[in-house]
């Protein structure tokens, strides 16, 4: 999932249109929200020149004089817009996003009851600023799957007396294997499994606090993405 937000400060310029076209070609967003188009009308032909001809759908709010104007283009194979609510300062597209009911509100604000559950690895970054005084912002769901997470032993565990007792208990157990190297291997396996149980039982609340901290960090990313901007628009 990739979403781009861009304040273009006027979409009538061919250089800026080419910039957006190259941006979409490079980043392959599933949705782009453009502010300050400063256009009264936006045709399908104009949208196709930015996005392409095959999978795009769009809607817009006309500019008020020489200011404002919103344009939202999305991949209709990913998000199926069902109806739209809009005014001069916002554009909301209601529909289904990847089989999940969703609401996209264009004032640099995106809301969905299942959004946080659906995309758990959100990250936001600014892209190169070329033809606007605002850098484009890319919101994406970044998942790097490197296989099973390896077992880790943290130094802070050594401060826990229960860990020392657990290690002694496991290490003193009898083992079927006769070779010293096999005994050592089996002890390490048993210790790892015992530590996993200990962490789950003894450190459960701490793990919950870590999860909560990550959620707060995610909300902070959303707040940077959704609000705190002077210019009205997507």
pLDDT of 89 over the 90 cut? no
State mean pLDDT over 13-23: 93
DSSP conformational letter for 149: P
Q: Are strands 2-7 and 31-35 parallel, antiparallel or unpaired?
A: parallel
User: Is 13 within 8 Å of 58 (Cβ atoms)?
Assistant: no
Rounded distance between C-alpha atoms, residue 135 and residue 138, angstroms: 10
pLDDT of 47 over the 50 cut? yes
pLDDT of 62 over the 90 cut? yes
What integer pLDDT is reported at residue 133 of this predicted model? 77
State mean pLDDT over 8-22: 92
Which of 48, 84, 42 lies closest to 63, judged by CA?
Answer: 42
State mean pLDDT over 37-59: 90
pLDDT of 61 over the 90 cut? yes
**Sequence-separated (6 or more) residues with CB below 8 Å from residue 36:** 7, 8, 9, 10, 63, 67, 68, 69, 231, 233
State mean pLDDT over 1-6: 88
Q: At what angle do helices 44-51 and 14-27 cross, to 10 degrees?
A: 50
pLDDT > 90: what percent of the chain?
25
Of the ranges 130-134, 140-144, 147-151, 153-157, the best mean pLDDT one: 130-134
Tokens of 222: 């959303």
The residue to which tokens 């790892």 are assigned: 192
What integer pLDDT is reported at residue 126 of this predicted model? 86
What integer pLDDT is reported at residue 21 of this predicted model? 94
User: Is 3 within 8 Å of 138 (Cβ atoms)?
Assistant: yes
Q: At what angle do helices 180-202 and 204-226 cross, to 10 degrees?
A: 60
pLDDT > 70: what percent of the chain?
71
Q: Confidence class of residue 232 from pLDDT cuts 50, 70 and 90?
A: very low
Calculate Rg over the CA atoms of the chain.
26
The whole-chain average pLDDT of the chain stands at 78
Strand-by-strand arrangement of the 2-7 sheet:
56-61, 70-75, 31-35, 2-7, 137-141, 122-126
Rounded distance between C-alpha atoms, residue 168 and residue 190, angstroms: 12
What integer pLDDT is reported at residue 63 of this predicted model? 93
> 61 forms bridges with which residues in the sheet?
70
State mean pLDDT over 206-221: 62
pLDDT of 71 over the 90 cut? yes
pLDDT of 144 over the 60 cut? no
User: Is 232 within 8 Å of 91 (Cβ atoms)?
Assistant: no
User: Is 231 within 8 Å of 36 (Cβ atoms)?
Assistant: yes
CB atoms within 10 A of CB 112: 16
Lowest-confidence region among 45-49, 76-80, 104-108, 187-191 = 104-108
């Amino acid at each position: 999932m990739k979403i781009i937000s861009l304040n273009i400060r006027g979409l009538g310029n061919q250089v800026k249109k080419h910039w957006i076209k190259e941006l979409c070609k490079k980043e392959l967003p599933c949705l782009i929200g453009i502010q300050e188009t400063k256009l009264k009308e936006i045709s399908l032909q104009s949208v196709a020149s930015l996005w392409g001809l095959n999978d795009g759908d769009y809607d817009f709010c006309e500019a008020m004089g020489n200011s404002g104007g919103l344009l939202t283009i999305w991949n209709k194979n990913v998000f199926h817009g069902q109806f739209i609510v809009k005014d001069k300062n916002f554009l909301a597209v209601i529909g289904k996003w990847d089989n999940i009911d969703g609401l996209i509100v264009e004032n640099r604000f995106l809301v969905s009851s299942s959004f946080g559950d659906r995309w758990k690895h959100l990250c936001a970054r600014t892209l190169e600023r070329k033809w606007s005084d605002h850098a484009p912002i890319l919101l994406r769901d970044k998942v790097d799957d490197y296989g099973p997470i390896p077992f880790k032993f943290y130094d802070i565990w050594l401060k826990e007396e229960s860990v020392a007792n657990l290690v002694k208990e496991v290490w003193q157990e009898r083992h079927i294997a006769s070779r010293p190297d096999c005994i050592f291997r089996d002890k390490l396996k048993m210790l790892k499994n015992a530590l996993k149980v200990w962490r789950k039982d003894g450190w459960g609340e701490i793990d919950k606090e870590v999860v909560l901290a990550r959620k707060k960090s995610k909300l902070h990313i959303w707040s940077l993405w959704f609000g705190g901007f002077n210019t009205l628009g997507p």
